[in-house]
Amino acid sequence: MMDLPLSLLAHVAVTFTLAGLVKGMIGLGLPTVAVGLLGLVMPPSEAAALLVVPSLVTNVWQLAAGPRFGVVLDRLWPMMLGISLGTWVGTSLLAGVQAEHAVRALGVALLVYALVGLAKVSMRVPARAEFWLSPLVGAATGVVTAATGVFVVPAVPYLQALGLDRDGLIQALGLSFTVSTLALAAGLAQQGLLQGGIAGASAAALVPALAGMFLGQWLRRRVHAETFRRCFFLGLLALGTVLAVGHGE
């Protein structure tokens, strides 16, 4: 990592600090912010590889903090299986012949997520539909994860539509993001994109991510949550637009 230009190191450090801050404030957003900002200066495959350790540690932390792991896992295991299979099938999208389109795909994913968040779309999934819909949503999330390195679409809107209470939703998000991170790491390793150097850089990125997360938790008690949430989605909308239209052209 120290062989990288100083400007790129600074970009990575600031990116993971900001991503951790968002995670600390609202409980999600670390992979979205990190991959989105890193996508401005490197291919999404490299950005996703840098994300692995910070995402895994912070999401396992979030998952372990809740009291209902068994209940959440029993309800959502079909979705987790779909995420794993979808990521495995879609890994070629990140590193194969379609990799040149990954930046625009990332931009579109961020745009969709930002628009859904700003619109405050309220949906409810009928209990009878969960058994067949969960694996489909999981598989779609896995493909998007493999193609862009972002875990949130359509997983987050779907989990929010299940009617979980606050603690259950936070733990469900932690479970979904943990499984997505592990599946993405396995896919990257299979493609030879998670070798010693990049793994070490990912571990180093954990430091600014945790610093940002602690700062975000501190700010959460001092900044109106809805104000921050709106600024977050507006920022994603702008970033997604830049990536989707081709920032390098």
Which of 36-45, 69-78, 141-150 has the highest average model confidence (pLDDT)?
69-78
Q: Is there a domain that residue 248 lies in?
A: no
Alpha helices, H only, 40-149: 44-65, 69-95, 102-119, 130-148
Residue 1 within a domain: no
Domain that holds residue 230: 6-243
- Identify which has the larger pLDDT, 95 or 125: 125
Q: Chain-wide mean pLDDT for the chain?
A: 84
241, 111 Cβ separation under 8 angstroms: yes
Q: Give the mean model confidence (pLDDT) for residues 115-138.
A: 89
In this structure, is residue 149 part of a structural domain?
Answer: yes
Backbone phi and psi for residue 123, each to the nearest 5 degrees, phi listed first: -130, 155
CB-based contact 63:167 (threshold 8 Å): no
pLDDT of 97 reads 45
Distance separating alpha carbons of residues 93 and 43, to the nearest angstrom: 12
**Quick check: 122 pLDDT over 80?**
no
Least confident of 13-17, 65-69, 160-164: 65-69
**Tally of domains within the chain:** 1
